[in-house]
Amino acid sequence: MLLGRRQVFVRFSGCNLNCNYCDTPSSRDSNYGNEFSVETLYKKIDELITPDFHSISLTGGEPLLHADFIKDLLEKYNLPTLLETNGSLPDEITKLTEVIDYVSLDIKLPEHEAVSNWDDLMNREIESIKILIEEGINTYCKLVVQPSTQTDTVGFISARIKEEIPDTSKLPLIIQPSSPLEYWAEKNQRLLEISEKAGEHLNVLTIPQVHKLLKLK
């Protein structure tokens, strides 16, 4: 858990999913942003490092679409790193297990409409979790919920993770209410119900997008 830690965000463009709640839709476009070499990117990161720096956050889009580039960067420059991923590309995750320190794996709900075959996506996410746990990487799952999210759906997913992963004691589940939080006005009881259902199977935390609460970019 890195809540409150100072990070430098590196946002990669392009995504293989199409979630209906995406808060950075421009990053889905593989042509979005600027192209950097490994050396130039490191210089940009180094310029932003402060005395309270903890780690860099690789986010997107989907950073695993750039796994080879990330591996080159982290092999050349030893930076503490959090990978934020949708977990749909387990083969790409295996390329990075020796160079990343933390992983935030975003489990998708059927209602997110990320792909046409949700069952296949869930299988790939589970496979990614298994790889990370076996490699001893500090990992947590994140589940973005909306006011329309069904409690039973969250319970089903939590039970599936508990069933598939041998040891979930080191795999917390973060329930993240979708932004803006105004969506949740007079519906906060729903968050408690969702947390309670997930808590039947996993260690649960409910945390909103803190950087948005602080109005940080």
State mean pLDDT over 82-103.
98
Q: Which CATH number fits domain 6-213: 3.40.50.920, 1.20.1270.360, 3.20.20.70, 3.30.450.20?
A: 3.20.20.70
How far apart CA 167 and CA 169 sit, in angstroms, is: 6
Is residue 215 predicted with pLDDT exceeding 70?
no
Do the Cβ atoms of 83 and 102 come closer than 8 Å?
A: yes
How far apart CA 135 and CA 115 sit, in angstroms, is: 28
Specify the range with the lowest mean pLDDT, choosing from 17-26, 37-46, 115-124. 17-26
| Of 162 and 32, the one with more pLDDT | 162
State mean pLDDT over 180-192.
78
Tell me the pLDDT tens digit for each residue of 32-89.
889 999 999 999 999 999 999 999 999 999 999 999 999 999 999 999 999 999 999 9
Is residue 216 predicted with pLDDT exceeding 80?
no
The most confident of the ranges 15-24, 123-132, 178-187, 202-211 is 123-132
Domain boundaries, the chain: 6-213
How far apart CA 171 and CA 203 sit, in angstroms, is: 7
What phi and psi values does residue 76 have, to the nearest 5 degrees? -85, -35
Instruction: Say what angle helices 151-164 and 118-134 make with each other, to 10 degrees.
Output: 40
State mean pLDDT over 186-214.
85
Do the Cβ atoms of 203 and 174 come closer than 8 Å?
A: no
Length of the chain: 217
How far apart CA 75 and CA 95 sit, in angstroms, is: 11
Question: What average pLDDT does the chain have?
Answer: 92
Task: Read off the tokens for 116.
Answer: 């046409």
| Of 122 and 211, the one with more pLDDT | 122
DSSP H or E stretch at residue 177: strand 173-177
Q: What is the pLDDT of residue 196?
A: 96
Is residue 94 predicted with pLDDT exceeding 80?
yes
| Of 66 and 3, the one with more pLDDT | 66
